[in-house]
Amino acid sequence: MSILKDSFGRKFPYIRLSISDVCNFKCGYCLPDGYKIDKSDNRSFLNIEEIGRLAKALSELGVSKIRLTGGEPTVRKDFFEIVKIIKKNSGIKKTVMTTNGYRLDKIADNIKNSGLDGINISIDSLNADTFKKITGHDRLGEILKGIKNLQKLNFKNIKINAVLLKGVNDTEKDFNNWAEFIKNNEIDFRYIELMQTGDNLDYFNNYHVPAKKFTDYLNNNNWIIQTFGKDAGPAKNYLNPKFKGKFGVIAPYSKDFCKSCNRLRITAKGDLRLCLFGNTGINIRHLMQKDNQIEELKDLILKQLNFKKESHYLEIGETGLTKNLSTTGG
């Protein structure tokens, strides 16, 4: 079996598949003015039959984990049908999602029953006012209720992500609040260092703070760095025996961040992106139209890996094709 491997020896068992660019939040670092239709690209989002063929091809290429992203993936009415069609492939061991948590309190049962293997929820602050300021929505209470509902259903593998923002959620009090939250909760919490994209330069300049601020906090409070399995990727994870939950950091500006890259991205309109901040992308959707195109699709994906670069160039302001994080699954 051919597997996804680039010229630098990195393997790619993990795909981030965006199924919609639409998002119903207005996060300052991503879509501060809300979602707007891209009139320069009138292609529809991948349909469920195309996603089914894509998942089959990826499974046959050794992919074992698919993360459904957006935008906000649950805005699609067929979201849970998409989960089912992906999970038909025995090679896909983990089907997970990233969500803003909208209506999480109401769909917890559906999530559990769908067979999803994990969920990442974006919560940038445990302070309701700060949360509303960042996202444009006063829904923190509903999201936290949704997490409790999932836990009551014995749903495992819950992670929370927050974007680290200078002067907004980066104080020791903020860090302590999250520590208290995960102390008796089997939940992984991770700060993501703010990344520059094509349309957020001013925001980036105002709010970027190096991830080192949080890692210093962890090192000063007896958190021990941990390594995970082959599908974990560039995140650094930390354990503390006094806590049920774990902390993590994703620091894209750190040295050698890309050495452990293990994922590729496919956009909601069928473009293969080798890197979140790469300058190249190729549409592979035309090979998702018929069942007898699977081999051609696999071959095209394999050939594209020859063009994957060793690293991004964020440190010099090169943001590639990513206008904002809603378009490539973040």
199 against 22, higher pLDDT: 22
Match 């003015």 to its residue by tokens. 33
pLDDT higher than threshold 50 for residue 170: yes
Residue type, 80: F
- Region 255-275: mean pLDDT is 86
Residue type, 86: I
Going by C-alpha positions, the residue among 236, 285, 231 that lies closest to residue 263 is 231
Model pLDDT for residues 150-160, shown as the tens digit of each residue: 999 999 999 99
Q: Does domain 14-316 bear CATH number 3.20.20.70?
A: yes
Q: What is the pLDDT, as a whole number, of residue 229?
A: 57
Q: Which residues of 38-70 are buried (b: 16+ CB within 10 A; e: fewer)?
A: eeeeeeebbeeebbbbbbbbbbbbebbbbbbbb
What is the Cα–Cα distance from 88 to 230, expressed in whole angstroms? 22
Taking the domains of the chain in order of start, what are their residue ranges? 14-316
Q: What is the pLDDT, as a whole number, of residue 164?
A: 98
Query: Which range has the top average pLDDT, 124-133, 195-204, 317-326?
Result: 124-133
Please report how the helices 294-304 and 48-60 are oriented relative to each other, as an axis angle in degrees rounded to 10.
Answer: 60
Match 């354990």 to its residue by tokens. 239
What pTM, to 2 d.p., does this model score?
0.92
User: If pLDDT is split at 50, 70 and 90, which confidence band does 316 have?
Assistant: very low
Q: What is the pLDDT, as a whole number, of residue 212?
A: 96
Question: 37 near 43, Cβ under 8 Å?
Answer: no
User: If pLDDT is split at 50, 70 and 90, which confidence band does 85 have?
Assistant: very high
Residue type, 243: F
Question: 310 near 258, Cβ under 8 Å?
Answer: yes
* E-strand stretches of the chain: 14-18, 65-69, 94-99, 118-122, 158-164, 187-193, 224-226, 236-239, 246-250, 263-266, 271-273, 281-283
Query: Which of 8-17, 23-32, 190-199, 305-314 bottoms out in mean pLDDT, i.e. has the lowest?
Result: 305-314
pLDDT higher than threshold 80 for residue 18: yes
- Region 238-265: mean pLDDT is 88
Local structure of 235: helix, strand or coil: coil
What is the Cα–Cα distance from 100 to 120, expressed in whole angstroms? 8
